[in-house]
Structures are given as C-alpha cells and as structure tokens.
Structure 1
Amino acid sequence: MAKSRGSFKKREKELVRKEKKDQKRQHKLDKKTIKAEDNPNQSQNEGETL
C-alpha cells in the first residue's frame, strides 16, 4: 500500500514557512544595517554630549 502524501505536504508547508521567516529576519537586519549606515555619527555624538 502506498503512503499518503499528507506528510509530504506538511513538510513542504513547514519549509515554505521557514523560508518566509528567514526572509523576514534578513529584511529586518538589512533595515537596521541601512539605518546604522545613514546615521553613523549619531551614536558617536551621543557619548560626547555627556
């Protein structure tokens, strides 16, 4: 008797979900990096104002 494809479909959905999560995480990291590059002096100046 052949196995059902249900377990394969479930695994496929999990892989898609994981890929989407990784893309979101990478996008957030990219946004943080761009923001840090736009304002490199801001973090340095904060310490000098004390």
Structure 2
Amino acid sequence: MAKPNYSYEKRQRELEKKKKKEEKAFKKSSGGGGSSGNSNDTTGQEQPAAAGTPEGEAPAA
C-alpha cells in the first residue's frame, strides 16, 4: 500500500492559498473602492413577485 505524500498535499494547499491571496490583491487594486464589492449583491437578482401572487402571473391592478 502506498504511503500518503504529505509534503505534496501541503504544497498544494500553499499554492491554493497563494493563488487566493493574489486574486484578492488583484480585486482590491482594480476595484477602486470598498463599495464595489457590495454593488453586485443586488444588481444580478430578480425582484420578488408581489405578495399574494404566484410567480409568472401579473398582479391585478
């Protein structure tokens, strides 16, 4: 039976951490501000249907 290669696993974890850190630094430098991360939270989501109406039906006006 093969022995687990702990040094390989550790190296992979380190590379993953380094990659995430670089991505975070890139986003921070290109983002331009702290509010840019929060703007995507609401823009890509659909508005909820009016209360009491099933989805796909227009509310009675």
Instruction: Please tell me the TM-score bracket, short chain as reference.
Output: 0.5 to 0.7
Offset of residue 11 of structure 1: 0.3
Between the two proteins, what is the percent identity of the paired residues? Answer: 9
2:16 aligned residue: 15
Greater relative CO, 1 or 2 (CA 8 Å, sep 6+): 2
Offset of residue 2 of structure 1: 1.2
SS in 2 for 1:27: helix
User: Deviation digits for residues 1-36 of structure 1, max 9, x if unmatched?
Assistant: 3122100000000000000000000001111xx5xx
Q: Would you identify which runs of 4 or more consecutive aligned residues in structure 1 move more than 6 Å?
A: none
Q: Structure 1 regions of 5+ residues with no counterpart?
A: 35-50
Please give the alpha-carbon distance, in whole angstroms, between the structure 2 residues aligned to 1:26 and 1:2.
Answer: 39
- Give the TM-score, by structure 1 length: 0.57
Please give the alpha-carbon distance, in whole angstroms, between the structure 2 residues aligned to 1:25 and 1:18.
Answer: 11
Which structure is larger by alpha-carbon Rg, 1 or 2? 2
Aligned AA (2:5): S
- Give the TM-score, by structure 2 length: 0.47
Q: How many residues align?
A: 32
